[in-house]
Structure 1
């Protein structure tokens, strides 16, 4: 794909789809005002395009421990140190969550790197906490004034909310010493998500509280919205504000509001190819939605991590039925506190190195869902050791390494 040079570029880096949606919304606002702008993902912004452009607005998210979105992780590494940007004016909008210590760190790193190579700031860095409407309205006002568009009524980003009713709540590990995992089933008329998408919810249905994001654990074709939620506790053993409400307080037949988050970087691709699904704990949610939509007779390998083999086998009847029907070609459990053979999900990749290589040679897609710290990092490090950095980068660039990490 080629882009016009010399005109305005709007460049996004998105983990949950919010940055992309804001970028496309801004492009539409500019277009209505008769101003031309191209919109592209950060991983599509080459050094040569950087050197040809004169003005770029960056809209980038940060997730996990100050991480760049998956598709943008190699950008700073790939930008040449010899790329001189004295001609370039930039503006950076950072999306993040102040509950985490590295709030908008990737936005800060991106801006610092471009300035170090000569770029000039048109506006100071603006940050948005958890897609708060006030923060977004502040940025929209800056855009309206800078470009002389919609100066009277800047339109803040407003996610669409829909209602769902709690039908069932199942405790998946009632005898475990691990924190509780619960599968929640909701009924809703809005079954229009794709496998890999997430939903946001405000604790207690109160927008005064910051929203939380959960992976959808069901296919839209099922007619139900299902979640797998870990009941979290703070240092004083107080249940998490949102997980405690969902897992303990919310009553059956209560209605709550969700907003759908599009996750294109974790959507399914090439369904005719083999797929390797890797996750731990509540990460089963995003993998389960994908598995439910995989074609018949497809090759599917699930590696699932938890703690204890006696008490932490999640949804065993469903998974073993998939295995018996050969919907799951391989089902490997990794129990970190197994007294006989403790192991993590990445240990299976090492043990089944030849199977891994064989599946990748057949074009397999890897899907990883769960915690970034520990599992997510461990899987990526192990794959890099087994495959080499060059092949790992190739998988990412081809869209064959797809993650939903939090």
Structure 2
């Protein structure tokens, strides 16, 4: 519900909200510019002194106004001709024209009404309402994605567009809520939808009928600092019954022009003060710094609009279309999906369709939208959950376990959890297992025992579906055909072979960068933009399940490079190792933003063995800024599988690689990469203590050994690999 409330106002009102934000951001500069460009009155100057100085220069002065910026403007008649100027309060002389800035006037009319009068004001009010809805629903979605309000600034992962969208929202949402809410208040006031609340003093019935007293001699004007002045209006020349009208930050009063006596006074009402505060908060008049801050926040709106559209389009492509999805409060079956790359949504769509055809009402939603209060008619809750990395929640399941743990009691509807993963990985279905364990600890009734699907197996899914049908007392056959990812042809241009002497055939395969349409280059879609550490998906012939290889290159290198080791019986590795220059293969890209080197000068400690050198070599190749990079690389024998040996030496000479430490596991004294780390323990501890980031790539046994070695190395300085992982300073790409 919240996601839809955020999506559709954003898509429908994108152009209007963008105009509103950009014009508002531009207008935010004018209050600061006005304050900087206007002569300011000295702190002790009174209204009496200011009026006397201006009268001396302009005897026919009719009105003096002080803007919230401190700019003072005088209006007068001279020989029947009107005049106006910005005043230097030190001299009373005019120093600039009082005519409004034409650009500011144009932008103000655009911002308020699109040059369309009342109809335009209504349209812009609708835009402000849309922005308010977007801001509030967006804040709720950010909190949901981060895992709660307390984790508002928690590190993010995922595609750049999504991370940029959320990062800007985190900073800008408070300003956008303030700007849109005050805009709606001001619009309502413009159309007299709010009470006036003003209190002007009563017009004096009796005056002295004298005109002789000078402004410098009026006690109230002498006691009022210029800093409190808003407006001083002079009586009409020759009319002894007219009065001075003084408006200040405190209220409005009338003064006798013959005696200077205060005839009547009315303080500002609470309602007036509220209205003026709202006006100040929205326009920045009188708060130029706040105006600039809100303007900067408003500049985030078009960026969030663009990235939001990209995220929405990516979601449309990555998530299977689910037809007939009923609302949560009407559904008998709640289907919650935890997916990182989108494949689990395909299984969810198949299950949703089969249950719907069997006469069930089904609501499918991401696990991050878990809200038992909305499941009034639910008879069962089904969870289909993938696992990200080393047992983490996938993108669409952020915060699920926290919300489940906070429940006072589990939902009444029984639960079935189905995990998706690859059994060859140590963290096989770890997140789904965690969901099942927490649910069991909560006392949540089971509909089915915990089960898993290995490598997107349609057979595993169909078997589980028959068990579900039995539990529901319906016939349920799940026939799922995994959607083959959209792939692009890649042509091999070169290969370098290693490892034959140690019975570990390995090759560095370099493919030509495919032709990329201009729109893909501009948007960074597909092969239009990628980085070392991203994943190249290969769908081998005879299979619908892709295999992934870490990229050793980035798009600006002009080629696509991976490192492949031939595994006995390996379908994908066997086909790749059989390629010769000129041969082709179909492939696609998947972002892996958690395993990017990032920017900055923070030192990197890269640890890899065998084919794990691939993305690490890509990081070093891209290190043109000469960031301190320390590489620990394990191999079997330097004469057989010293991958990238020549390049590493050249990169050291160029300053892209600060240090290379190798470990050789074949020979008289087997030495592994974790042993190399222990041998350099003092330097490793110093680097990490000073803020270095550790990146590990390779087999799971190697990674486990590296983690154990680092735990011993870091113990004396009070750090652990677990603590570094929580800070994003220890990341793994393990297979």
Aligned partners of 2:405 and 2:438 also within 8 Å: no
Aligned partners of 2:636 and 2:665 also within 8 Å: yes
**Secondary structure of the residue that 2:144 maps to in structure 1?**
coil
Sort the Cα spacing of 1:38 and 1:206 in 2 relative to 1 into closer, same or farther, 3 A: closer
**Secondary structure of the residue that 1:272 maps to in structure 2?**
coil
Sort the Cα spacing of 1:26 and 1:358 in 2 relative to 1 into closer, same or farther, 3 A: farther
**Stretch moving more, 99-108 or 318-327:** 99-108
Aligned partners of 2:602 and 2:691 also within 8 Å: yes
The aligned counterpart of 1:358 is 686
Aligned partners of 1:22 and 1:157 also within 8 Å: no
The aligned counterpart of 2:410 is 87
**Secondary structure of the residue that 2:639 maps to in structure 1?**
coil
> What aligned pairs does 1:11-160 form with structure 2 within 5 A after superposition?
12=338, 17-18=340-341, 22=344, 57=383, 59-61=385-387, 68-69=391-392, 86-88=409-411, 92-97=417-422, 104=429, 106-121=431-446, 125=450, 127-131=452-456, 159-160=485-486
> What aligned pairs does 1:7-406 form with structure 2 within 5 A after superposition?
12=338, 17-18=340-341, 22=344, 57=383, 59-61=385-387, 68-69=391-392, 86-88=409-411, 92-97=417-422, 104=429, 106-121=431-446, 125=450, 127-131=452-456, 159-174=485-500, 176-189=501-514, 191=527, 192-203=529-540, 205-207=541-543, 210-233=545-568, 240-247=570-577, 249-339=578-668, 341-373=669-701, 375-388=702-715, 391-406=720-735
Distance 1:296 1:25 in 2: 45
Aligned partners of 1:85 and 1:118 also within 8 Å: no
Deviation at 1:384? 1.7
The aligned counterpart of 2:267 is none
Sort the Cα spacing of 1:390 and 1:159 in 2 relative to 1 into closer, same or farther, 3 A: farther
Deviation at 1:307? 1.4
Distance 1:170 1:299 in 2: 28
Distance 1:155 1:336 in 2: 43
Distance 1:10 1:284 in 2: 38
TM-score, structure 2 as length reference: 0.42
Q: Deviations over 1:285-314 (max 9, x none)?
A: 121222222341201011000112333322
Sort the Cα spacing of 1:61 and 1:3 in 2 relative to 1 into closer, same or farther, 3 A: closer
Distance 2:405 2:510 in 1: 54
Sort the Cα spacing of 1:225 and 1:194 in 2 relative to 1 into closer, same or farther, 3 A: same
Deviation at 1:385? 2.1
**Secondary structure of the residue that 1:333 maps to in structure 2?**
strand
Distance 1:207 1:156 in 2: 10
Deviation at 1:126? 6.2
Higher-Rg structure is 2
Q: How many correspondences in the alignment?
A: 364
Deviation at 1:25? 12
The aligned counterpart of 1:3 is 144
**Secondary structure of the residue that 1:18 maps to in structure 2?**
coil
Greater helix content: 2
Distance 1:265 1:57 in 2: 25
Deviation at 1:369? 0.5
Q: Deviations over 1:234-274 (max 9, x none)?
A: xxxxx533222211x33332221113222232123344311
Aligned partners of 1:98 and 1:130 also within 8 Å: yes
Q: Deviations over 1:145-176 (max 9, x none)?
A: x9xxxxxxx997653322111221210345x3
**Secondary structure of the residue that 1:331 maps to in structure 2?**
strand
Deviation at 1:136? 7.9
Sort the Cα spacing of 1:225 and 1:120 in 2 relative to 1 into closer, same or farther, 3 A: farther
* RMSD (CA atoms): 4.5
Greater strand content: 1
**Secondary structure of the residue that 1:273 maps to in structure 2?**
coil
Aligned partners of 2:497 and 2:506 also within 8 Å: yes
Sort the Cα spacing of 1:265 and 1:334 in 2 relative to 1 into closer, same or farther, 3 A: same
Distance 2:603 2:629 in 1: 6
Distance 2:732 2:704 in 1: 11
**Secondary structure of the residue that 2:642 maps to in structure 1?**
coil
Sort the Cα spacing of 1:109 and 1:188 in 2 relative to 1 into closer, same or farther, 3 A: same
Deviation at 1:359? 1.6
Deviation at 1:37? 6.3
| Unaligned stretches of 5+ residues in structure 1 | 147-153, 234-238
**Stretch moving more, 221-230 or 262-271:** 262-271
